[in-house]
């Protein structure tokens, strides 16, 4: 009995890459013995012809299931939509731009058949990403893992295989602000890691600019660690002790030596320094309060406009 496996692919303005993606991935999938495939393609509110091309694929091939979101919700939400729509005994998440090598999929399946519940693809060579992206990514991982108890393996993206039990576990996590790399790490399970070299994009350009990546990193840090918010208590205490000692020193100096120097410079420094620390800590609080605000609204993570799928013909 072949097992049904779902491939979850988020698409956002990938019009030029849709057909190449299908042409590349289908032969790889059909060559894997003892498997049946379902391709859950999520159109994340693309503004180009991505959706039209995906629907055309679905008309020809009943393996395709197109989840059309009502607008652009971002990759994390799109992946969540795909995972919710996937019905397979295992699910593989892969980018639409073929930066994750489909050749790794057969190895992932083998590892899964041998008992792994999560199979990760780890990028051993990210030379296709810009130097700045690589550097900031490595900073992010080391900072995150220092702050948080949940360790995210470095250089592991969203390209992974998950057993049904892992997908079910992910669906139990109620948070609206979904930092998937953190959620994947949080659920745990028996994990195997495969190495690969990250290719360049097949078409179009990356949707994650500097600002988007910065927001993403902040999301990750604040979703999985409260240290940034707690650290201000300690810094404040240390600052207060220093200020107190300095105050005592000034009082002593005035008593014993008279009022020699008017302390304009030190006063100015103290006011601006502690003022800025307060502003930073208020900002930090704001990050968390903003997140609490978003979570309490209990809005759905994404909205589906329509699911496009051609029923399989009885003969096949």
Rule CB under 6 A: which residues touch ligand UDP?
10-12, 14, 44, 72, 74-75, 78, 95-97, 99, 201, 206-208
Q: Are 64 and 39 in contact (CB under 8 A)?
A: yes
Q: CA-to-CA distance for 179 and 176, rounded, in angstroms? A: 9
From the CB of 197, what's the least distance to ligand UDP, in Å?
14
Query: Which does residue 72 bind out of ligand UDP, Mg ion, none, counting CB within 5 to 8 angstroms by kind?
Result: ligand UDP
β-bridge pairing 64-69 and 35-43 = parallel
87 or 206: CB nearest Mg ion: 206
Could you tell me which residues are beta bridge partners of residue 7?
A: 39, 92
Query: Which does residue 100 bind out of ligand UDP, Mg ion, none, counting CB within 5 to 8 angstroms by kind?
Result: none
Query: What track of x and - describes contact with Mg ion for positions 74 through 103 (by CB under 5 A)?
Result: -----------------------x-x----
* Whole-number Cα distances in Å, 202 to 39, 69, 101, 205, 239: 19, 24, 11, 9, 53
From the CB of 75, what's the least distance to ligand UDP, in Å?
4
53 or 308: CB nearest Mg ion: 53
Measuring CA to CA, which residue among 212, 18, 16, 27 is closest to residue 103? 27
From the CB of 237, what's the least distance to ligand UDP, in Å?
40
Q: Please state at what angle helix 210-224 crosses helix 180-187, rounded to 10 degrees.
A: 30
Q: CA-to-CA distance for 27 and 126, rounded, in angstroms? A: 26
99 or 223: CB nearest ligand UDP: 99
Query: Which does residue 14 bind out of Mg ion, ligand UDP, none, counting CB within 5 to 8 angstroms by kind?
Result: ligand UDP
Query: What track of x and - describes contact with Mg ion for positions 96 through 135 (by CB under 5 A)?
Result: -x-x------------------------------------
From the CB of 111, what's the least distance to Mg ion, in Å?
24
* Whole-number Cα distances in Å, 252 to 246, 247, 249, 271: 10, 9, 5, 21
Query: Which does residue 117 bind out of Mg ion, ligand UDP, none, counting CB within 5 to 8 angstroms by kind?
Result: none
Q: CA-to-CA distance for 313 and 91, rounded, in angstroms? A: 24
List of residues 6+ apart from 33 with CB closer than 8 A:
none
Q: CA-to-CA distance for 131 and 129, rounded, in angstroms? A: 7
68 or 97: CB nearest ligand UDP: 97
List of residues 6+ apart from 83 with CB closer than 8 A:
8, 91, 93, 167, 170, 171
Query: Which token pair is 261?
Result: 């120097």
58 or 69: CB nearest ligand UDP: 69
99 or 155: CB nearest Mg ion: 99
Query: Which does residue 96 bind out of Mg ion, ligand UDP, none, counting CB within 5 to 8 angstroms by kind?
Result: ligand UDP
Taking residue 115's Cβ as centre, other Cβ atoms within 10 Å add up to: 9
Q: Is 13 in the site for Mg ion (CB under 5 A)?
A: no
Query: Which does residue 38 bind out of ligand UDP, Mg ion, none, counting CB within 5 to 8 angstroms by kind?
Result: none
Residues that bind Mg ion (CB under 5 A): 97, 99
């Amino acid at each position: 009995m072949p097992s049904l496996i779902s491939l979850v692919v988020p698409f956002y303005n990938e019009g030029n890459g849709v057909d190449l993606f299908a042409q590349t991935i289908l032969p790889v999938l059909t060559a894997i013995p003892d498997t049946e495939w379902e391709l859950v393609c999520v159109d994340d509110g693309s503004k180009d012809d991505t959706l039209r091309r995906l629907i055309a694929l679905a008309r020809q091939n009943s393996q395709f299931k197109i989840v059309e979101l009502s607008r652009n919700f971002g990759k994390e939400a799109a992946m969540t939509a795909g995972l919710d729509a996937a019905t397979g005994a295992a699910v593989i998440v892969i980018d639409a731009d073929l930066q994750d090598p489909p050749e790794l999929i057969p190895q992932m399946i083998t590892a899964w058949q041998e008992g792994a519940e999560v199979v990760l693809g780890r990028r051993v060579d990210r030379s296709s990403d810009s130097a700045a992206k690589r550097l900031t990514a490595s900073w992010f991982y080391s900072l995150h893992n220092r702050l948080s108890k949940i360790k995210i393996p470095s250089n592991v993206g969203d390209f992974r295989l998950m057993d049904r039990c892992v997908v079910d576990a992910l669906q139990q996590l109620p948070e609206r602000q979904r930092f998937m790399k953190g959620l994947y790490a949080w659920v745990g399970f028996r994990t195997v890691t495969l190495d690969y070299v990250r290719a360049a994009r097949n078409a179009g350009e990356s949707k994650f600019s500097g600002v988007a990546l910065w927001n993403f990193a902040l999301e990750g840090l604040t979703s999985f660690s409260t240290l940034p918010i707690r650290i201000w208590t300690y810094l404040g205490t240390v600052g207060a002790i220093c200020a107190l000692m300095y105050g005592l020193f000034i009082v002593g100096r005035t008593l014993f030596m008279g009022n020699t120097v008017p302390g304009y410079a030190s006063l100015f420094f103290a006011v601006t320094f502690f003022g800025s620390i307060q502003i930073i800590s208020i900002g930090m609080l704001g990050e968390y309060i903003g997140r609490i605000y978003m979570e309490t609204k209990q809005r759905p993570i994404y909205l589906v406009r329509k699911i496009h799928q051609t029923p399989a013909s009885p003969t096949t």
